Amino acid sequence: MFRIPSTFTVSSVAALFLALTPAQAKETPRDRYNAAMDSVESDPQMATTSLEQLCDEGFSRACDRLGYFSFKGIGIPQDADQAIAYYQQAVEQGSSKSLLSLGKIHLTQKSYEAASESLLAAVAQGDQRAEAVLAWAHATGRLGPIGDPDQGLSVLITLAANGDRDGQISLLDALTRTPSHDVDVSKTLTELHSRHTQGDAKAAEALLRYYRIVGHPRGTIETRATLLETDGLRDKIRVEEGLFLARDLDPEQFWSTSEEIVRSAPNDVFARGLSVTAKINKNAYVRIVQMELRDLGYRVGRASPYLNRPLIRSINAFCRETGQQSACVLGPLKSTTIKAVASEIAQLRAEP
């Protein structure tokens, strides 16, 4: 359980106030926080600098956001350890909701005991989402040797049956990772579809992934296409599930539809889209890489879905010039090469 420290002394608060500029003194911490968040897209570095100042002054929401930005690499270097430190600081400043984010990051770092402690603390603080995340972590083996998969799945089934949205979404996700379990999800699917019709994008995402991986009969091509049109769907999901739907809808035209989907994808999801394309159809991947490298000024030869000498030379040159020689040494169609090339192109290409 995490300890919440005592509040600031009067003298420390006064010292912080005196350190503010006259303009800042007229603004509340919430005003400054909102201004910083409004500038994240236009000037992420300035935004994070403002948030760091607020965090140092004891504004827990700023620490919480810095934790997220550190984990994602927004405006500051991507650093999981620093993200953990920011979230811990937010918790110490009274933000109990940061316990859930802290637990999730510990899961990604395979810090099993720390993850369990943070999630249990979040549950104790009344965070309903945390119970579903903790059960999901048990059910999917994400808690390693301290996990209890059967108990975790049982809790998720109960949460879903009781109409808990996070439990329903987490149950479907767990079943895509442990497909051997025979669980009746009819009620869960019906309720998530109902949530989707009310504009719940997360429900749509959960259904899309479940239908694709598990192959449930309710997940027809038409149903998946409708779910894919949901407003608020994350770009990552829209691109990835769009590619799989294109494969299932018309495999012979995948090379064309994948080009349209991936080439128009935002740069932050381009690499994922290109990697998924390679898993589905290597020729479609080659065609897109050829177009992207041509746009970057490489001489890739005539348009073709097949590897040719000019394209191979261009890929090798691209790997050398971006410092990815070791990742590309096994060949242009190996998974390590594909990931490296996709990642580097995403950083260099013009935003569509």
- C-alpha to C-alpha distance for 237 and 226, rounded to whole angstroms: 14
What's the DSSP call for residue 216? -
How far CA 324 is from CA of 77, 140, 269, 311, 321, in Å, comes to 20, 34, 20, 16, 8
What's the DSSP call for residue 7? P
HSE toward the beta carbon, residue 144, CA cutoff 13 A: 11
**Alpha helices (H) along 73-148:** 80-92, 98-108, 112-124, 128-139
pLDDT at 16: 43
Instruction: Identify the three-state secondary structure at position 43.
Output: coil
Structure-block tokens of residue 265: 């994808």
Choose among 17, 99, 84: nearest CA to 53: 17
Q: Summarize pLDDT for 191-206 with one digit per residue, the tens.
A: 999 999 999 999 999 9
Contact 97, 67 (CB under 8 A): no
pLDDT, mean of each 10-residue run, the chain (352 residues) = 36 45 72 95 93 96 97 93 98 96 98 98 96 98 97 98 98 90 94 98 98 96 98 98 98 96 97 98 97 97 93 97 95 97 96 86
Q: CB neighbours (10 Å) of residue 352?
A: 10
Tell me: domain 1-95, CATH 1.10.10.10, correct?
Answer: no
In degrees, rounded to 5, the angle at the alpha carbon of residue 227 between the alpha carbons of residues 221 and 233 is 140
What's the DSSP call for residue 19? T
How far CA 349 is from CA of 75, 87, 301, 337, 343, in Å, comes to 19, 33, 19, 18, 10
Domain range annotation of the chain: 1-95, 250-352
Q: Summarize pLDDT for 136-158 with one digit per residue, the tens.
A: 999 999 999 999 999 999 999 99
pLDDT at 179: 72
Question: Which class for 7: exposed (0-12), middle (13-18), buried (19 or more C-beta within 10 A)?
Answer: exposed
Q: Summarize pLDDT for 66-109 with one digit per residue, the tens.
A: 999 999 999 899 999 999 999 999 999 999 999 999 999 999 99
Q: What is the dihedral of CA 203, 206, 207, 208, to 10 degrees?
A: 120
pLDDT at 6: 39
**Chain CA centroid to CA 8, Å:** 35
What is the chain's Cα-based Rg?
Answer: 24
Residue with token string 């990697």: 275
